[in-house]
Amino acid sequence: NAEGEEGARGGGGYSREMAETVAGTRRLITKPQNLNDACGPRSNFLEIDVSNPQTVRVGRGRFTTYEIRVKTNLPIFKLKESAVRRYIPGKAFLRQLSFRRDDGIFDDSFIEERKQGLEQFMNKVAGHPLAQNECCLHMFLQDEIIDTSNAPSKIRHA
Q: Is residue 33 part of a domain?
A: no
**Percentage with pLDDT > 70 across the chain:** 65
**What Rg value do the Cα atoms of the chain yield, rounded?**
27
Q: Is residue 14 part of a domain?
A: no
Domain tally, the chain: 1
Give the pLDDT confidence of 52-82 residue by residue, as tens digits.
999 999 998 888 999 999 999 999 999 999 9
CATH number, domain with residue 95: 3.30.1520.10
- pTM of the predicted model over 0.85: no
Q: Which domain holds residue 70?
A: 41-142
Q: Is residue 11 part of a domain?
A: no
Q: What is the dihedral of CA 62, 64, 65, 66, to 10 degrees?
A: 170
Beta-sheet strand order (sheet of 81-87): 46-58, 61-72, 81-87
Give the pLDDT confidence of 113-138 residue by residue, as tens digits.
889 999 999 999 999 999 999 999 99
